[in-house]
Structure 1
Amino acid sequence: MTDTSLAARGVALDLLRDVLRKSVPFDDAFDAHPELAALQPRDRGFVRLLVATVLRRLGQIDEMIQASLAKPGLPKAAIHDMLRLGTAQLVFLNTPAHAAVDTAVELAAARNAAPYKGLINAVLRRIGREGAEMAARQDAGRLNTPDWLWLSWRSAYGTARTRGIVEAHLHEAPLDITVKSDPEGWAERLGATLLPTGSLRRPPGGSVIELPGFEDGEWWIQDLAASLPAKLFGDLRAKRVFDLCAAPGGKTAQLVVQGAQVTAIDRSARRLERVTENLKRLRLEAEVLAADAATWEPEEPADAVLLDAPCSATGAIRRHPDILRVKTPDDIAKLARAQSRLLARSVELVKPGGTLVYCTCSIQPEEGEAQIARLLEQDKRMERWPVTAEELGGLSEPINEAGEVRSLPGMLADLGGIDGFFIARLRRRPN
């Protein structure tokens, strides 16, 4: 094994520890790791793929490890993580058996775990022989889904829909792109599929910054579902729009391209730096303001408000499998309270006769349908403005009976799927 190969797996081991035992979001842990910059791009890509695969397939992996141990009970945490990394390579990443096993054994030696080399070697060699058969017998979607999420989704959507959700999570999401203009032309240049909504779709993987048009600011990465809220305001030319909780700025960019005068607000100055950087690359202009949307007082209300509220992000597990491991039911309750406050405040920020679009990348009803039902019951100034399939490029599957958008992983399978999202469009009644 090369030194770079050992270093990459060492970084992966650290990242797995940070996510599983410290509940650090994977992207944050990845960006903060001090040794990552020293790795070659190919090794960095391997680290990301390896850790994401373990997080995505953790239930399956742990069941295989348990079945392959000579005695019941799991080894201590660091050894368990080394076995997880090795199993992911053997069963799901098609790493040659000798490479996956040897690197795991050498990693144990490098991390002061030499007494466990024999255990690691024996377990991984067995999984190398039997892992494919084990995986074929497993209920993969159920095993990889924490009980509390499975039960909440089954209660909300039924068993069949929940099966579709958890099976969609087994696969890496495609790369979706929003263009400033000429989607047909850019689809051809990027080798992408043009989706009915105007988004472009490419297979996952590869270097985004090396694709045509990135440096020239002609497009940005944005999931199909995330691109929908900004499309629901109608004609925005010369209208004032507040984009609340705006980072990282994809929806801000859409609103600007549509001709709006946008104020992008986020309470995190650090996250707003990314909004500013993205707008600069895209050659777009918006007012960027660090403020708490729940207490911010503008000089006057806006024609339209987009509230992309902080949420559990359970709709984005295809892209962020660490969500399965770091979120808890307590998080949902806390976030729902914050969403209620932000939603109530957003009503005050939109003019009478204006439009409010509320969205979350969550598939928890507490963060979506329940929020809107509560608001409409408590504040008679607001009314629903139902979304139509024509506004979504003819896509009717994600629209619920109330005229809200409720996309779920597993929907639009013929197009390559979609993230889970909730979107409600409201209108403030004229005074």
Structure 2
Amino acid sequence: MAQEDRKSAAPGGQAARKAAVGLLVAVLEEGQLLAAAVDAEGGPLAGLAPDDRARAQRLASETLRHLGPTDAVLKPFVRKPPPPAARNLLRLSVVELCHLGAAAHGVVDSAVSLAGSDPATARLKGLVNAVLRRVAEDGPEIWARQQAQRLPNWLRGRLQSAYGGKVTAAIEVAHAVGAPLDLTAREAAALAETLGGDLQPTGSVRLKGSRQVSGLPGYDTGAFWVQDAAAALPARLLAAKPGETVLDLCAAPGGKTLQLAAAGASVTALDASESRLRRLHDNLRRTGLGAEVVVADALAWEGGAYDAVLLDAPCSATGTIRRHPDLPFVKQSSDIRGLADLQRQMLDRALAWVKPGGRLVYCTCSLLPEEGEDQIAGLLERTPGLRVDHDGLNALPGLEPGWLGPLGLRLRPDYWAERGGMDGFFITLLRPEA
């Protein structure tokens, strides 16, 4: 990635760098999710070539991932914060200089040129030039003394209460490292050998470095799809069998649906977002797999009974910050109560669709117990005869000691640190009375 992003410090990378600044302004000043800003019609990436789009998104992501250290580098050289466009141009340049190792003269010249080309920052060309020249000299030393970016206080406090300060700090380090590319494959061992990837103990294929997914061998034939190693476990835990009827609730973007369909199940994939289901339709066509795709609100939809139900409930997504570094700047503590109430309603709804003797997998990509363990404790208390299937949980391949608790599987970004980490998830398997 560093080699590719060095190109962005040259004049030829100006379009990508300008777009990256626009993405930063959208997230940090306007409160937009990075994915929404990336896809926005007429947004910062509108009209860019694919390579520039990808580079702009990478630069913005790296800046968000290291915003705390970046601001610490700038602090000695900036008396008062400049306007948003200039401030984020400086931040982006610091990341290129101190983290990505781009050539100082290229970064400084490009930043000054960008500042001069924008009416909002043209009068600050001199400031940009002076600050970045000092950063080029002294910034790397300041950067080297910085710790990983801290999570916002509302989230950090919750994680410290749940896991302790040492674990919270390790999670922050994992966020700063970022995430490798994980694939779920029909023939994982063969794909790992073909792509030169690492076969993980849980069955995912992990690739290192920056790779263009659509250019990988096997992509066109549907041999694999992108899915974090942790995100692949709920469908593996469900263990769908050929011919079983399975309901995948909140299915978009569809990785779990593909797993269930590949196992031979008759899958109904339901999600309220038609736009987010487009990727599932694309992947079903690419892989040749089949599923009934339904656009509906799960709380209002009238469905039948199923052998198995998988509920990947809407949540704070705090387990995916290493992949989505914009989340700490957009999510709020006030979001959690509403999400927890929705999860409770959806759990009750999902359980009603499970046939006698069937099973329910519940998961959230959240690090917060109130969206995971606490939800299951409440469900067990109000549902006589329901139990956690510990045998099924223990049968999952590749689990390590400490991951399993009395209510399910708790995964964290600091797990597998030597392998590249994983997303944070809570996952459990439930069985009602037969």
The two structures have a TM-score, normalised by structure 1, of 0.94
CA–CA distance in structure 2, aligned partners of residues 375 and 102 of structure 1: 59
* Conserved 8 A contact 1:237-1:259: yes
Match of 1:331 in 2: 335
Q: CA deviation at 1:38?
A: 3.9
CA–CA distance in structure 2, aligned partners of residues 60 and 33 of structure 1: 32
Opposite residue 21 of structure 1, the aligned amino acid is E
Q: Which moved more, 1:167-176 or 1:21-30?
A: 21-30
Q: Which moved more, 1:348-357 or 1:377-386?
A: 377-386
The two structures have a TM-score, normalised by structure 2, of 0.94
Opposite residue 59 of structure 1, the aligned amino acid is G
The reply on whether 1:343 has 2:347 as its aligned counterpart is yes
Opposite residue 160 of structure 1, the aligned amino acid is K
Out of 181, 187, 190, the residue aligned to residue 175 of structure 1 is 181
Alignment of 1:360-379 (within 5 A): 360-379=364-383
The reply on whether 1:192 has 2:197 as its aligned counterpart is yes
Q: CA deviation at 1:45?
A: 2.6
Out of 308, 319, 326, the residue aligned to residue 323 of structure 2 is 319
Q: CA deviation at 1:116?
A: 0.9
CA–CA distance in structure 2, aligned partners of residues 398 and 26 of structure 1: 33
Opposite residue 176 of structure 2, the aligned amino acid is L
Opposite residue 415 of structure 1, the aligned amino acid is R
Match of 1:160 in 2: 166
* Conserved 8 A contact 1:305-1:349: yes
CA RMSD in angstroms comes to: 1.7
The reply on whether 1:103 has 2:107 as its aligned counterpart is no
CA–CA distance in structure 2, aligned partners of residues 378 and 120 of structure 1: 60
Q: CA deviation at 1:312?
A: 1.2
Opposite residue 336 of structure 2, the aligned amino acid is I
The SS at the match of 1:153 is: helix
The reply on whether 1:80 has 2:110 as its aligned counterpart is no
Match of 2:28 in 1: 20
Match of 2:152 in 1: 146
CA–CA distance in structure 2, aligned partners of residues 154 and 5 of structure 1: 41
Summarize the Cα distance change of 1:2–1:157 in structure 2 as closer, same or farther, 3 Å threshold.
Answer: closer
Alignment of 1:54-133 (within 5 A): 54-69=63-78, 71=79, 73-112=80-119, 113-133=121-141
Out of 307, 310, 330, the residue aligned to residue 306 of structure 1 is 310
Q: CA deviation at 1:388?
A: 5.9
* Conserved 8 A contact 2:310-2:361: yes
The SS at the match of 1:356 is: strand
Out of 283, 287, 293, the residue aligned to residue 282 of structure 1 is 287
Summarize the Cα distance change of 1:2–1:416 in structure 2 as closer, same or farther, 3 Å threshold.
Answer: closer
The SS at the match of 1:215 is: coil
Match of 2:59 in 1: 50
Q: Structure 1 runs of 4+ off > 4 angstroms?
A: 1-4, 387-390
Opposite residue 325 of structure 1, the aligned amino acid is F
CA–CA distance in structure 1, aligned partners of residues 26 and 50 of structure 2: 22
The SS at the match of 2:270 is: strand
**Count of aligned positions:** 424
Q: CA deviation at 1:417?
A: 1.4
* Conserved 8 A contact 1:172-1:204: no
Summarize the Cα distance change of 1:364–1:387 in structure 2 as closer, same or farther, 3 Å threshold.
Answer: farther
Q: Which moved more, 1:366-375 or 1:385-394?
A: 385-394
Match of 2:265 in 1: 260
Q: CA deviation at 1:391?
A: 2.9
Q: CA deviation at 1:32?
A: 2.3
* Conserved 8 A contact 2:240-2:246: no
1:156-200 alpha-carbon deviations (Å, 9 max, x no partner): 1011111110000011201111112x2221111111111112110
